[in-house]
Structure 1
């Protein structure tokens, strides 16, 4: 509903997808009373929630400033993202265009089918007015392309009908850039959580079982709200772009922007619906992850990110918690909400353990350092990433699991990570006080009454593996690691542990996905491929004279591995033909299998049931 309170705005933004064929937005900023002379304008270098310098200003074109008489004012570019205008003593108009051709959840994209943008990639900040309310006019394209377009955004309407072009408002610049906007043709699916209106807006060609989506997504959202005890907003929007292949999400205070494969959406025609497909489970996990962030990240925030700006990197060692704990709860909520069964949940958990164990980088980089170095390492992985990095998402989720089970065991089930999250919400989310760098550890210790210093020293500040098998046994789950049977083997949930067979000989390589050639993406440290001298970018042609393909490589290597004089590898490096000799080694025991232990003691069964039970 449009805002009925008249407000005088110190600046008005106007955004129009004016040139869809050229992928150019036209943007204007009207400033009736510039706060200073000179006037300073700047664009963020990064978008909150995605810790990488993206230099959005590189897409800004033809910026100009004019006064009330239409006269151009001198404008000087100060640095890569800042402009300074002299003579801005009266009302001024800033006009520029922005090239938008990045189909992601972080930037902007415009063509004849839709327009999408995030504020940091489009809307200049006016120094001195960052904390003032502002107005933004969302305008349709001038031609027939947008005749039936609508608008989906969590911005608060000022003079706009629901889903309509028109005027919206923001409390300040930070609020302005925290509401992504979709213009175009989209499906809108409404539902409610705790009486609060929620919508899913899906653009891109797709088929959808709306009833199934609401039946699953509503309970997931309700689980998170029940965990924290409240839902701190009056509206929420899932902005979904469906594509052929894609995956990603970015959190916002009242919305999330998601990219998914169209086939991952629930398809109509299943009656009665079966357990979710692997793709649909992945989509629900993504929705769950970003929705959890409306508490943890958007309102419970690291202190350094509250005080830092968007002009340069802001480092924190807390991403293990803000992303890792979220990654733990995103799949846990699926089983608590009844969207998946317990067997499926164990399969997801086993796959997470496998992915972490498969990267030797976990023995090189601590979780705290992985968080701190996200800007230059996690978001910019190179060929050596598996050997040098650990994911604060994956390992962070396992540390969250270990913390939860440690607290449950140490308090005989009287306390859990759920209670820690509620206390973080009370201390930091409800008050707006940022979390200090060791704040999560402090709250966990205070709430549980346990001495967790040793736990955090091992999991965050060392490269030791956590003894998950012992902790999982405390909730009646058996765990073992076995040799992998190939790159697609992520382990899973089994009824019983089968007798171990001989490990398959392997070169221990990661291949570049797609295509028919065997192109090496990474060579794993200590493996047979590294010892043979293989390198990233090598194109492997043949194994012992037989043509190699991505499908048969593992089989050819295993078949030839018994030769005492080694296996001949024929390859191109750059444009030079080479022959190397390899001695394949047994595959590492890095693949996780989990199973339910039955029978278990009554106390173990109660702890397990409380862990997985709904909070609603």
Structure 2
């Protein structure tokens, strides 16, 4: 067996105030014809070509202390001239993207994904990699630490020094947090888990450990012990306002708002903490579903271009179904809270006219040009494979339970996928799920003919039969008109019937009402209003969300509103004729009318 010398990287925090990392890439035996290097254009889990090479500020090559000619071949590739002996590439990367997808560095903290900073050595990406992390030298950075799920290769835990990876793919799948962060540790099914928070906060770390542990142990046991990693790291940057996450094989990078975290002494689960726990659950579930059970087109990833699949509904949508389901099954939230979240997801899809235009397979395939590039017309032209995919997960789970009299569920499908594709992915050759294989596995796991279900759910634009399916699981369905501009869905004991609409989605712009989306065929479109128009006055009164809600509450179909609005810097005046509000808002509640319904609901959500 041939043993290859590892590719050695060095990443140094040389200039935090200028937001720059300096990286060295050392190749012991470069290609005799001239070694090529390339940087990914996208990061797995976020399906958009992001052109990370644009952040390379300077780059040069050396061998034996001598400068080596370096030619740029295209937007992301460089080739060094042939050399005898070793070759080192030296370059700086500008890092000021305060998200989970790229890299960030300032005098307070640093963060990077490998796809943003580590150039791949073409032809040698299967080799082991070593990376030396070097901290800033100034005394004020003396307390900086390192958080990553990369195994140490000489570095102390949480310390600067050398870490290792099996290959380039492994190297780029372990993000790194740098700084004087808050750290807490717990065990789930015998596996150590770190919680890392960067940024100002007063979170109750003990409670976070307790709540995270419930999520982690449930999901590990759902797929079957042992966990697919030896250690896991949750790394979160806390901001005044922020939300997001990105999964990795043994860690996740998260963004949360400061007020979403529980303070010491708080015992309830406030709405924004519930949302944060759902995010944690979502990204952790990805450790199985997409990091190891993954589409064949991602096995392996081609990071130089788009990778297409029609299966994102299964990998993102079903993960979105299980994230909140995990919270209720672990007792972190109660049944009423779970049904409220579910009703809001369904409401969001029903309020998207594009669900009747684009099917779920096409939504998955077009993610590169649609989901991550949404514009003012997106609600009219497409549907989210996250939210519609979660609804399909719900419908599929309840269909399986109903047709098998509770003997099988979606859990059985996920477990078979894990056994067949995920459990040995990184050790057994990395076989991904073919474009038609997911449906075949679902039929095998359940013993059902599900072809009609999948044709309806994935390849048509017809709505799912959720009222009937939920009724079979002991849940009442309420379809009603929205009660106000802030009504996101949920059960109401006495909802107001009917109502009127202006046919637009509203946002805020410096305290003013902004039309963010105009729905096709609605009053706003017919009145000539457009996305990004800012309302100035409604019937002679200063426009606000409150007075718009008040005007709509007392209006009837056919009434007219005189609108003044700014389009860019031009004032326009128009008259808008109100239409009847569509019943597109869902409420869900427990149906306890008989013992069978209660038993079926408990078997499904666990409470």
Settle same-fold status: TM greater than 0.5.
yes
Deviations 1:540-586 (A, max 9, x none): 2112222212332232345465775x322122223332221111112
Q: How far did residue 35 of structure 1 move?
A: 3.3
Identify the residue that residue 290 of structure 1 maps to in structure 2.
283
C-alpha distance in 2 between matches for 1:558 and 1:608: 36
C-alpha distance in 2 between matches for 1:221 and 1:482: 37
C-alpha distance in 1 between matches for 2:510 and 2:437: 47
Does residue 1:588 correspond to 2:582, yes or no? Answer: yes
Q: Runs of 4 or more off by more than 4 Å in structure 1?
A: 557-564
- Asked if 1 retains the 8 angstrom alpha-carbon contact of 2:482 and 2:584, the reply is yes
Aligned residue for 1:214, secondary structure, equals helix
- Asked if 2 retains the 8 angstrom alpha-carbon contact of 1:505 and 1:585, the reply is yes
Deviations 1:324-368 (A, max 9, x none): 110010000001111111111111111111111111111111011
C-alpha distance in 2 between matches for 1:455 and 1:609: 24
Identify the residue that residue 171 of structure 2 maps to in structure 1.
176
Q: How far did residue 613 of structure 1 move?
A: 2.1
Does residue 1:330 correspond to 2:328, yes or no? Answer: no
Aligned residue for 2:584, secondary structure, equals strand
C-alpha distance in 1 between matches for 2:79 and 2:162: 28
Identify the residue that residue 4 of structure 1 maps to in structure 2.
none
Q: 1:258-277 residue pairs with structure 2 within 5 A?
A: 258-270=254-266, 273-274=267-268, 276-277=269-270
Q: 1:204-353 residue pairs with structure 2 within 5 A?
A: 204-230=199-225, 231-270=227-266, 273-274=267-268, 276-353=269-346
Q: 1:138-153 residue pairs with structure 2 within 5 A?
A: 138-153=133-148
- Asked if 1 retains the 8 angstrom alpha-carbon contact of 2:310 and 2:362, the reply is yes
- Which stretch shifts more, 80-89 or 330-339? 80-89
Identify the residue that residue 467 of structure 2 maps to in structure 1.
469
Structure 2: any 5+ residue segments left out of the alignment? 426-430
Aligned residue for 2:318, secondary structure, equals helix
C-alpha distance in 1 between matches for 2:51 and 2:100: 15
- Asked if 1 retains the 8 angstrom alpha-carbon contact of 2:278 and 2:327, the reply is yes
| Cα 1:308/1:119, change in 2 over 3 Å | closer
- Which stretch shifts more, 524-533 or 96-105? 524-533
Aligned residue for 1:121, secondary structure, equals helix
Q: How far did residue 532 of structure 1 move?
A: 1.2
Q: How far did residue 313 of structure 1 move?
A: 0.5
Q: 1:445-524 residue pairs with structure 2 within 5 A?
A: 445-494=443-492, 497-498=493-494, 500-524=495-519
Identify the residue that residue 428 of structure 2 maps to in structure 1.
none
Does residue 1:393 correspond to 2:386, yes or no? Answer: yes
C-alpha distance in 1 between matches for 2:219 and 2:550: 45
Identify the residue that residue 136 of structure 1 maps to in structure 2.
131
C-alpha distance in 2 between matches for 1:512 and 1:606: 42
| Cα 1:589/1:563, change in 2 over 3 Å | closer
- Asked if 2 retains the 8 angstrom alpha-carbon contact of 1:37 and 1:89, the reply is no
- Asked if 1 retains the 8 angstrom alpha-carbon contact of 2:483 and 2:496, the reply is no
Does residue 1:607 correspond to 2:603, yes or no? Answer: no
Identify the residue that residue 3 of structure 1 maps to in structure 2.
none
Aligned residue for 1:436, secondary structure, equals coil
Deviations 1:66-99 (A, max 9, x none): 111x221111111111111112332111101000
- Pairwise CA RMSD of aligned residues? 1.5
C-alpha distance in 1 between matches for 2:459 and 2:257: 37
TM-score norm. by structure 2 comes to 0.96
TM-score norm. by structure 1 comes to 0.95
- Asked if 2 retains the 8 angstrom alpha-carbon contact of 1:561 and 1:567, the reply is no
Aligned residue for 1:331, secondary structure, equals helix
- Asked if 2 retains the 8 angstrom alpha-carbon contact of 1:10 and 1:129, the reply is no
- Asked if 2 retains the 8 angstrom alpha-carbon contact of 1:44 and 1:120, the reply is yes
- Asked if 1 retains the 8 angstrom alpha-carbon contact of 2:145 and 2:159, the reply is yes
C-alpha distance in 1 between matches for 2:7 and 2:402: 56
> Which of 581, 592, 601 is 1:598 aligned to?
592
Identify the residue that residue 405 of structure 1 maps to in structure 2.
398
